[in-house]
Structure 1
């Protein structure tokens, strides 16, 4: 199992279908588990996917429409039922505080989980820990909405052959990493730059500056493609993107892996989304399906904008 992967729990938009549950996406990122936009039925989808409640460390909501948040009550109550020992941090637009409170306490239950709320109302970094910096950017939708961007800091990759030549092994490697120099050997001499990875999550929005800021040089971009381009006027009217628009953003921003999702129930042929996206995007393309697992691409040089 990849240490970094996207587990797709649901891919529908406003209405679920026989094959697509409401939204839900769990990003496994080393020891962190970020649950994005859990729509109705997410707790059951987690069961099907083999995802325990204890895997969740953050809940991130883009906005307060039902297909993006009606799964919160079940997930939150499961945290208490399973007595998840670690704190779980919840991020959501501050304008949705009343809705989140109602979701959190939708029914009576014995609250044993440690859920910590972090409402936000502007662009910027909303959390920073060993996983990296979690940033938000404002989107354009009929209700206030924000997208998310997880940025791992740049680091260095140790070179085993160089370490062996320098006679540095075992615990002394960590000592060198911590100090930057050991016995006359500099860290730069036995390591190489390792670019940090970037994950971006964009839902329910028209094209706007926030979309491009979130997608910029992302290793993986998960983005809504509610409509096909023939319905782009309808997409704009309702505050959504087409598959072609999402793919064009990915191409311009140098995205490595593009994951299209949040499909309108009006379309029954997923291949049409892939065909439309391929007209403008040449990188790794995934048309998401429920319970799919998508590995975050290995570290490397992020592609340049085309």
Structure 2
């Protein structure tokens, strides 16, 4: 059975707190496991979440500030300690390759896992596969940063009643899907459109074109909201978003579920982030907490 969910491993920002670990987010997407921005302590958070290192297929870094990458050494070494058999790919801004090299080889260990580095040189599609496309866009932060977007292609869902009406069953169903027609019956006659799902991951940034492009039509948008609007000037100065700005993105881009995270330790009441976002965005809002699991919403339907 396929699983599509976000496992939240950490929701803090520059400094962890007693209740919020450094960043860390695992997107479980069928057989794929995309680990975004593993901050310090991510290896232990995976243990608390009940997720093995073998679930990771890609490590995706947005940039090289410590709260987004200091967990890399522990994750890399855990892959070998657990003898993870499948290759794991690592994506990160190419301008920070020297930092990744230091993180990857931070201490002595017996490396047996296969880690394939695929640095990000420019915007575009990083990878394709059964999962769809993994794309990146530039963000606006004091250091080079990229946001990620996972896009599943549109498809069609078979309608059992229509298949039965045309006398199509068993292996013929697969043949019809592959060929597009069978014995004079077209795929369109026995199926309905099935829109692909989209997940966007946006960390440290000011509002910019890349943010809106990544969030467009996302079923699930995981986005930083480090500050509240009362500190908007501070947010802009340091290259961050407020909860209201994150909500504006969700509202303008047709996002279905908005996940707010990466909170400054200066704020004690998480409900304030929800309240501020709700003034701008009327969809589902999740104020992320460590070890929370957020399901990817059910597929959009077509008329």
State the TM bucket, normalised to the shorter chain. over 0.9
2:96 paired with 1:100? no
CA distance in 1, matches of 2:288, 2:72: 22
Query: For 1:254-276, what per-residue CA distance to the aligned partner results, in whole angstroms no more than 9, with x for missing partners?
Result: 00000000000000100000000
Q: CA deviation at 1:170?
A: 1.7
What SS does the aligned partner of 1:259 have?
A: strand
Matched, 1:276 2:276: yes
Task: Check conservation: 2:2, 2:29, Cα contact below 8 A.
Answer: no
Structure 2, gaps ≥5 residues long: none
Q: What are structure 1's unaligned runs of at least 5 residues?
A: none
Q: Aligned residue for 1:220? A: 220
Which residue matches 1:39?
Answer: 39
Alignment-derived partner of residue 238 in structure 1 = 238
Question: Match of 1:120, SS?
Answer: coil
SS at match of 2:67: helix
- Verify the 8 A CA contact 1:219 1:296 in the aligned structure 2: yes
CA distance in 1, matches of 2:39, 2:65: 9
Number of aligned pairs?
302
Q: 1:1-306 counterparts in 2 under 5 A? A: 3-301=3-301
Please tell me whether the aligned partners of residues 2 and 31 of structure 2 are also in contact (alpha carbons under 8 angstroms).
no
How many Å separate the matches in 1 of 2:170 and 2:39?
47
SS at match of 1:119: coil
Q: SS of the counterpart of 1:21? A: coil
SS at match of 2:251: helix
1:145-197 C-alpha deviation (Å, 9 max, x unpaired): 00000000010011111111112112211111111111221111111111111
What is the CA distance between 1:121 and its match in structure 2? 2.2
Is the contact made by 2:138 and 2:147 (CA closer than 8 Å) also made in structure 1?
yes
CA contact (8 A) 1:2 1:295 kept: no
SS at match of 2:174: helix
Distance apart, 1:133 and its partner CA: 0.5
Contact kept, 8 Å, 1:166 with 1:185, in 2: the verdict is yes
1:3 is displaced (CA, Å) by: 1.2
TM-score calculated relative to the size of structure 1: 0.97
Q: Does the Cα contact within 8 Å between 1:201 and 1:222 map onto a contact in 2?
A: yes
TM-score by length of 2: 0.98
Give the root-mean-square deviation of aligned CA atoms. Answer: 1.0
